[in-house]
Amino acid sequence: MNSHNQYKSAKEIVDKIRFSFDDKKIPIDESIDLKNILRGHLSNNGLLINSTVTPKLYKSVSNVSKKLSIKQGYIEAYIYPSSELQAISYAGASNRCIIKISSALVDLLNPQEIEFVIGHETGHFLLEHGSIKFNDEEASIEHFMQQRSQEISADRVGLIACGSSKTAIRALMKIISGLGDLHLRYDIRSYLDQLKNTNVNNSGSNGLSTHPPILIRSRALLWFDTSAYITLGKDHQSIKEQKNIDSKIDNDLENFVDGPVRELINEYKEDASFWKIISNVTEDGLFDKNEQEIVIKKFGKNKLEKVLNFFTGMNSDQAKMMSQERYTTSLKKLKRLIPYSYDKVKKEIEKEIDSIT
């Protein structure tokens, strides 16, 4: 198999284990010139992992390449000096996976745990999670939700790369605590008990985080580790089983991170639906009893009374114009909140409301 087909095959393999809710493509910043600017910067400010200078780390990179069916050399990893526990992968115009790993993270983890990190970052690359230009639209609530889903997908690739959920979760425990083997004992049951101290539906600042809490990521890895894909091999993958696992993970995300955010999105959707139905029923200049009953059935009597009060003193043309303006405004607000799925959601709203009016 030539290198291009091998790379394509690796992408197809990891795509099969993608977290179901990691379903939106965030645009890749094609302006990043990996071959020149990025590689030059990392070469000047870091250390390239290779077989002569960093043989143990090079072996870890080689092991990941083999487990993910990637040609040796497609993963280009650099170590940079930093006290932060961090690893980052880059995507752009090149099909080469370039990763930088902080020296503190390398010092903290053992070789197998490093393989989880390298596999995780390579997963972002293979799954085409992209490099983001932060502007007002992309830094939306939906952007953060999507990136949290991407982390679940990338963790699965990291699990395959290191070969053990115990290794993967131990790496995550070290990262969250900053503790090494001297002080840390692997007891996942005791660690996950910390979830009891987390308030359900109280996301706090987590709603604006690109990563889910490591507790949630650890439990997601344990669930995925029980799948037929892991226990029996990729030829035994069960789509139904994976959806069930993904549903449990999504429930965790909703309970411990995304609950208030999803509630806000639903409020915006309902507001758009409401003004869409009002816009439809006032299109002919009338708002008769049958049309009022449709509004009551969909949104309740209180909403009908509020909109009737809103129309007080307006003639039919004014009511029609104001309904359309309110609907347009509600769509603009919804688009700012969920720019990636906006078109799909708008079509769903229009289809539903048009069918009942």
Residue 128 within a domain = yes
CB 214 within 8 A of CB 195: no
Closest to 92 (Cα-Cα) out of 4, 15, 151, 31 = 31
Determine the pLDDT at residue 133. Answer: 44
Report the alpha-carbon distance of residue 256 to residue 129 in Å, rounded: 24
**pLDDT tens, position by position, 235-267:** 889 999 999 999 999 999 998 888 888 899 999
Average pLDDT over residues 170-193: 93
Total of domains in the chain: 2
Position 93 in a domain = yes
User: Does some domain include residue 151?
Assistant: yes
Indicate whether 48 and 82 sit together in one domain: yes
Same domain, 188 and 88: yes
Q: Does residue 41 have a pLDDT over 90?
A: no
Confidence at residue 207, expressed as pLDDT on a 0 to 100 scale: 63
Rounded distance, CA 18 to CA 11, Å?
11
Co-location of 141 and 212 in the same domain: yes
CA–CA dist 111, 128 (Å, integer) = 26
Closest CA to 68 of 143, 157, 133, 151: 157
Average pLDDT over residues 183-187: 91
Q: Partners of 47 in the beta sheet?
A: 79
Distance of CA 38 to the CA centre of its chain: 25
Same domain assignment for residues 311 and 207: no
Torsion of CA 143, 145, 146, 152, to 10 degrees: 150
Does residue 107 have a pLDDT over 60? Answer: yes
Do 189 and 41 lie in a common domain? yes
**How much of the chain is helix, strand and coil, in % rounded to 5?**
65, 5, 30
Answer whether residue 211 shows pLDDT above 70: yes
| 305 part of a folded domain | yes
Buried-exposed string 3-19: b where 16+ CB fall within 10 A, e elsewhere:
eeeebeebbebbeebbb
What is the domain extent for residue 289? 263-356
| In a shared domain, residues 304 and 198 | no
Same domain, 137 and 27: yes
Q: Is residue 230 located within the same domain as residue 270? A: no
pTM, two decimals, is 0.84
